[in-house]
Structure 1
């Protein structure tokens, strides 16, 4: 009888302890599952968050409207058919240089407008504020409700020219003097990337874990404009813009041989790539193309 009573009491105690412990264990398990799900969700979000590539390019709506209002002849030389090396180089430079000059002139006009706003003792007009906001957005600067003098002045660090010598050297290097598949089929002379399916050409050597394409442009001018916009806005080229800003501050010419040292992130080859572009500028004397209407900007290397 006593044994039976002890067995009943023991069973009741075990049952009570089980009810007390079980919810705790379940709660801990649920907590672990919740944490795991949260971690997985964060990982998925992180995977979907766009990470800007050093070669990622885009065309702004303003530029699209500009291109429509200023059409060009879309034909281009058959560089591969030009057997004489010097003749091919001359044709390559003559073909791209007008687009470089055009873009730099537009940038200088924007700089002049920014400076005029800064020099005006009156606050910016509504139209000027809209324009400033669009510029800040283009260069990935945060949106502001009120623009101080410093907020406007910082744009001068981004809105500036890229010397023709640097543009032509990189174009020659990246497009094999206009004969690469991407230049021929996509009017892409700088190896610029995009990340929307069908936005460009799939590189033959693209890894299985990569999803970028080499962007297709309507013409070479679009490629030049997008390349210069990329150097002016991408965080990967902060050093290039810093070098350029210092040259401005010191009243010195902005040259390709100076800015090339800000291109470490343009290629995985790093310093070797910089040395190669520098050699292209030197060997081909590309500084001779650095003549611009803004004499204080750059002349010869």
Structure 2
């Protein structure tokens, strides 16, 4: 009897120990699972994503729309409808539709920037002082790009604008748009035509992120259409102090007479997201994986740039 009782007690003890030990032994498997999801390639993360309603570190992005730009939008209406990217189940088709939709807007903005650059160069090449109209135009450009007001425009005050007024490669624009908007399927893209996560700080100026903390007051800007989002994003990269390094890289490429590429400028985007270098690596991966340099068509001579 005593022997049988000891056998029962031993079984109970072993059972209790097994319950306690098993969760601990399974913990490393759970950890490995979490690590594999974190290290998942950016390309796959973006393809599988349907909702990208998340905060970004891209603060102070409410670059104002100038009266000149408002007039341009009014006089150059767009007729293309925004595709429903979420309904396109084939990933290859969705990507190509996404690229085809946004690329014309990037080329349109870059064409206008090159025209402005040419006007600045003509003013610099003129031995006579800038006309009243040119002075007013230069003053407006300096204000937009957050440069100090000056009473008399010297050569250097005009020439510095060339560092700010320049193209953003289509490859970089498409990669960031795909990343920030989950290939056009995010709430910010579908409800606010915002493909780049641009913020604003006036109540009611945009959409409130679901993940916004209680003490935050930013919203995600709403645009009338995708073109306005593209224009504002490029204006932001060209004027925001956070992207000083991007503009320096671009200016050096100009100085060396090298193509302005997305793979070069991406290294000036470490402040675009709270993720820093990880974000830069992700955008670089998107450009490489999708061979987005094939969309770059803007240079001073309108020839194709290669990354």
Residue 63 to residue 214, structure 1, CA distance change in 2 (3 Å): same
Following superposition, the deviation at residue 294 of structure 1 comes to 2.8
Segments ≥4 residues shifted beyond 4 Å: none
Equivalent residues in 2 for 1:130-279 (5 A)?
130-279=136-285
Alpha-carbon contact 2:181-2:188 (below 8 Å) kept = yes
What is the CA–CA distance in structure 2 between the aligned matches of 1:55 and 1:138, rounded to whole Å?
12
Partner residue, 2:73: 67
Could you report, residue by residue, the CA deviation over 1:32-77 in whole angstroms, capped at 9, with x for unpaired residues?
A: xxxxxxxxxxxxxxxxxxxx93544432221111101111126210
Alpha-carbon contact 2:59-2:198 (below 8 Å) kept = no
Partner residue, 2:123: 117
Partner residue, 2:133: 127
Residue 260 of structure 1 aligns to a residue in which SS?
helix
Could you report, residue by residue, the CA deviation over 1:111-136 in whole angstroms, capped at 9, with x for unpaired residues?
A: 00000000011110000000000000
Residue 214 of structure 1 aligns to a residue in which SS?
strand
Question: Which protein has greater RCO, CA pairs closer than 8 Å, 6+ apart?
Answer: 2
Larger radius of gyration: 1
Residue number among 67, 91, 113 corresponding to 2:97 in the alignment:
91
Equivalent residues in 2 for 1:15-34 (5 A)?
none
Segments of structure 2 that go 5 or more residues without pairing to the other structure are 1-57
RMSD of aligned C-alpha atoms? Answer: 1.4
Residue number among 66, 69, 81 corresponding to 2:87 in the alignment:
81
Q: Name the TM-score, length of structure 1 as normaliser.
A: 0.81
Segments of structure 1 that go 5 or more residues without pairing to the other structure are 1-51
Following superposition, the deviation at residue 180 of structure 1 comes to 0.2
Count of residue pairs brought into register by the alignment: 250
What is the CA–CA distance in structure 2 between the aligned matches of 1:139 and 1:293, rounded to whole Å?
22
What is the CA–CA distance in structure 1 between the aligned matches of 2:276 and 2:63, rounded to whole Å?
20
Q: Name the TM-score, length of structure 2 as normaliser.
A: 0.79
What is the CA–CA distance in structure 1 between the aligned matches of 2:206 and 2:214, rounded to whole Å?
17
What is the CA–CA distance in structure 1 between the aligned matches of 2:198 and 2:303, rounded to whole Å?
27
What is the CA–CA distance in structure 2 between the aligned matches of 1:297 and 1:265, rounded to whole Å?
31
Following superposition, the deviation at residue 291 of structure 1 comes to 1.4
Partner residue, 1:299: 305
Residue 298 to residue 270, structure 1, CA distance change in 2 (3 Å): farther
